[in-house]
Amino acid sequence: MRRLSTYGVAIATCGLILSACGTAADNDTDDTEAAPECDPVQIEGDAKVSLAYDVGGRGDQSFNDSAYAGLEKAVAQFGLTDVSEGEAGQDESEDIREERLRNFADSGHNVIVGVGFAYSEAVDTVAPEYPNVAFAVIDGFDPTEDDVNCNVAYLGFAENEGSFLVGAAAALQSETGTIGFVGGVNNTLIQKFEAGYAAGAEAVDPDIEILSTYIEESDPAGFGDPAGGQAAAEGQYGDGADIVFHAAGFSGTGVFDAAVAADKLAIGVDSDQFLTAGPEQAQHIITSMLKRVDTATFGFIESVVNGEPDQGFTTFTLADEGVGYSVSGGFLTPETIAQLEDYKAQIISGDIEVPTEP
């Protein structure tokens, strides 16, 4: 039986390798300004921008593509010449991310944007080694809050506010009284989407039933698992939901596939997914929760080009159009839109406070 136990060891090892990922401890971004003791970062020469993508990568028609759109805009506007991109792999470890950032810095790039909260810790480690490089982390948090890095900008979003509006839209247009939410990974960032979505739906209809599924508990692979997205959405449509909102990156394409197959409706995330999805899928996407990663990316590059790189925490909210909802495709009725604009005004004025935890 020795051979069998060798087997057991081999398989157990493989299991370990697979599960050895995801140290998902992220904090909410606070709307605080740059720490006062910081001097502006002085980059040397022209801005040379690098974008380090999250799992899912460019082509996800969602989060990463939105960052890329911001980069493209900056390239066009400022005539940037030296631009590079780096793709994250599934199950990659912290030091691989660090090494990617160091490679960018060592090759002369002085503006480095980590796309996604997963880069928070890597940037925190690498940034002190390159004081003349301006770093930014989208959705980022500072893991060592006592030890502030002056050359890092944390670009956060009030996802709960945008999600509130699409939640209200779902409740207003649902015919079955049941709606769904599919999250990529069960962490505090994605829970913000769920919390806002549920609050918005319940503001319209307190009795609405909201189904919620997360593809992965902690493994970031949940953002790159279309099969998981499809299975999760299919289950919710089967349980009576007629509109499903996803916050699952590339896995969202599976949610749209399920919507097409079940002839039900879906809500996109980050980008206006009516415009980016395939023609068949687009007919089932009634709106998207916009998270203007492109605006944030562009704004950061702009601040560097202008000689005063952003520092510290910035949160993009409904008030400054950092989050919102899309109307392309004409699926939202004029009454729904009027109602959403009303909610939007109430959130901006502070009459409605949107929760960040479910």
List residues near other proteins by CB under 8 A: 1, 3-8, 10-12, 14-15, 18, 56-61, 64-65, 85, 87, 89-91, 180, 186, 211-218, 221, 224-232, 234-236, 238-239, 250, 253-254, 257, 261, 278
| Token digits of residue 103 | 């490679």
Q: Cβ neighbours of residue 283 under 8 Å, at least 6 residues apart?
A: 260, 329
Indicate the residue among 3 and 147 with the shorter CB distance to other proteins: 3
CB of 214 to other proteins, least distance (A): 7
What's the burial of 327, exposed, middle or buried (CB within 10 Å: 0-12/13-18/19+)?
A: middle
Dihedral angle sign, alpha carbons of residues 61, 64, 65, 66: positive
Least spacing, CB of residue 176 vs other proteins, in Å: 14
Nearer to other proteins, 159 or 216 (CB): 216
Nearer to other proteins, 171 or 323 (CB): 171
Q: In the complex, what is the shortest distance from the CB of residue 247 to other proteins, in angstroms, rounded to a whole number? A: 15
Q: Nearest distance from residue 91's CB to other proteins, in Å? A: 7
Torsion on CA atoms 341, 179, 284, 289, rounded to nearest 10? 40
- 3-class secondary structure, 161: helix
Give whichever of 85 and 98 is closer to other proteins, judged by the CB atom.
85
In our burial notation (b when 16+ CB lie closer than 10 A, e otherwise), range 178-187 reads bbbbbbbbbb
Nearer to other proteins, 18 or 345 (CB): 18
Closer to other proteins at the Cβ: 136 or 215? 215
Distance CA 336, CA 64 (A): 29
Instruction: Tell me how far, at minimum, the Cβ of 334 lies from other proteins, in Å.
Output: 32
Q: Encoding tokens for residue 200?
A: 């918005």
CB 26 within 8 A of CB 189: yes
At closest approach, how far in Å is the CB of 352 from other proteins? 26
Residue 72 beta carbon to other proteins: minimum distance, rounded to whole angstroms = 14
- What contacts 1, CB < 8 A, 6 or more positions away? none
Nearer to other proteins, 200 or 249 (CB): 249
Select from 252, 258, 216, 202 the least CA-distant residue to 234: 258
